[in-house]
Amino acid sequence: MEQLCRAYWRPIYTFVCHRGHNPEDAQDLTQGFFVRLLSKNYLGSAGPSKGRFRTFLLAALRHFLANEWDKANAKKRGGGHVFVSLSGAFTDTSSGLEPLDNETAEVLFDRSWALTLLERVLAQLREEHVRDGKAEFFDQLKSTLTGERTSLPYADIGARLGLSEGAVKVAVHRLRQRYRQLLREEIAHTVSGPEQIEEEIRALFAALA
């Protein structure tokens, strides 16, 4: 659970920002939320029987913002003990998402969650190729993972990699299969059971639409 919190800090930060807090205060609030969540063992109430981790985390965040920030704000910035490291999380103070007209913080939270998840899966897939000495191979093919044809023809990719066009097509097919597998595994960590994986995939891609 702590690893999930650390991995998905950006949706929390995005939600807080679009609730009207400036980036500096949003950083404090996000850090304070994770400290409270982990140090008080609120995650003990989370679990597979309680449904999606995404839903649990957002409900906990709403509660924190409504009831806990006044007390946390009484301390000086940076005071108290830090129970969880978010080192590197705030190197970019932008949420990375610009709201469209009439979009709620909840919509932005779901979109940021989906983007974070896809980025994590893509990073895992690249790490696998790096371990196998195929980093360049992956970098040439990663643009095909969206399901859209890359602007660069397969024959040109093959020429760069020393492969035939047919071999590139096979490689792209296998890469997409592995990408989908890793996506399902990542989502499985955040839902209550296998039956919710497809539902969560649909919900997250709808958030990106």
- Average model confidence (pLDDT) across the chain: 82
- For residue 5, pLDDT over 60 is answered with yes
Phi (first) and psi of residue 163, to 5 degrees: -125, 155
Check if the beta carbon of residue 6 is closer than 8 Å to that of residue 84: yes
Tokens found for residue 146:
């969206």
Domain with 142, as residue range(s), is: 104-209
pLDDT per residue as tens digits for the range 122-174? 999 999 999 999 999 999 999 888 655 556 788 999 999 999 999 999 999 99
Check if the beta carbon of residue 191 is closer than 8 Å to that of residue 117: no
Same domain, 108 and 177: yes
Per-residue pLDDT averaged across 5-32, rounded?
89
**In a domain? residue 67:** yes
**In a domain? residue 86:** no
Q: How far from chain centre, in Å, is Cα 3?
A: 12
**In a domain? residue 87:** no
Give pLDDT, residue 67.
Answer: 75
C-alpha span between 177 and 195 (Å, rounded) = 20
**In a domain? residue 185:** yes
Same domain, 200 and 118: yes
Check if the beta carbon of residue 119 is closer than 8 Å to that of residue 127: no
**In a domain? residue 94:** no
Same domain, 65 and 158: no
**In a domain? residue 126:** yes
Check if the beta carbon of residue 182 is closer than 8 Å to that of residue 188: no
Cβ neighbour number for residue 205 with a 10 Å cutoff: 11
pLDDT per residue as tens digits for the range 173-203? 999 999 999 999 999 988 988 889 999 999 9
